């Protein structure tokens, strides 16, 4: 990702140069938070990693917490959507694989640790809650579509999300074995079958 940014020609985006600088700073912050934790990173290093002047970091984010929060949010966007191929089983399997991949990165590990609410400031906690809410909402939208199409019986989609992502987190965070597509298939298979079997017959 660092390479991807470096290789691009100077972008002409709304905001221009400053937008690019901000994106570089956020990417650098996300990387340093992953390495050193939320409390550990330093503005000097962010500037160095981002290849910008230290004053650019201070000017854009005079507040350290706001920098952390924006970096967390920008980095977590990848998991805030679930594909719709028309096959709910397949789409949820792919989502679980992406989730596991995300959790296995240094950044994902930091995020998981940071989720322990007692450890965080209200602002950071809010950002983490928002990240999780976005994921829950993304799964929920996809599940609701499946319900509308008759692929699934009416179901509490937040509960379904917890049922499929809970085991993924457990397996990845424990770190005793890699998370595979077979795991994802098995989890989604059992949960969807269980939801269908326990649905009240209307």
137 binds its own copies (CB under 8 A): no
In whole angstroms, the minimum distance from the beta carbon of 64 to its own copies comes to 23
- Tokens matching residue 120: 């965080």
194 binds its own copies (CB under 8 A): yes
76 binds its own copies (CB under 8 A): no
In this chain, which stretch among 24-32, 45-53, 58-66, 159-167 interacts with its own copies, using CB under 8 A?
A: 159-167
DSSP string, 11-67: P--TTHHHHHHHHHHHHHHHHHHHHH-TTT--HHHHHHHHTS-HHHHHHH-SSHHHH
Among the listed residues 140, 175, 168, 134, the one whose alpha carbon sits nearest the alpha carbon of residue 154 = 140
Question: Contacts with its own copies in 105-124 (CB under 8 A)?
Answer: 109, 112-113, 115-118
Rg of the chain in Å (alpha carbons): 19
Contact residues for its own copies, defined by CB under 8 A:
109, 112-113, 115-118, 129, 132, 159, 162-163, 165-171, 173-176, 186-187, 189-198
């Amino acid at each position: 990702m660092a390479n991807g940014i470096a290789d691009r020609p100077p972008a002409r985006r709304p905001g221009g140069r400053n937008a690019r600088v901000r994106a570089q700073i956020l990417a650098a912050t996300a990387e340093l938070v992953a390495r050193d934790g939320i409390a550990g990173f330093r503005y000097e290093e962010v500037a160095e990693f981002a290849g910008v002047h230290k004053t650019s970091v201070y000017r854009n984010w005079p507040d350290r917490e706001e920098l952390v929060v924006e970096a967390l949010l920008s980095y977590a966007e990848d998991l805030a959507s679930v594909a719709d191929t028309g096959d709910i089983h397949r789409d949820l399997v792919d989502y679980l694989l992406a989730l596991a991949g995300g959790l296995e990165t240094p950044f994902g590990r930091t995020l998981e640790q940071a989720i322990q609410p007692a450890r965080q400031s209200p602002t950071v906690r809010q950002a983490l809650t928002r990240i999780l809410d976005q994921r829950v909402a993304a799964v929920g939208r996809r599940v609701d579509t499946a319900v509308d199409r008759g692929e699934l019986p009416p179901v509490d989609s937040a509960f379904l999300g917890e049922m499929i992502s809970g085991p993924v987190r457990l397996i990845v965070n424990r770190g005793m074995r890699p998370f595979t597509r077979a795991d994802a298939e098995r989890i989604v298979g059992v949960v969807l079958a269980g939801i269908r079997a326990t649905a009240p017959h209307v």
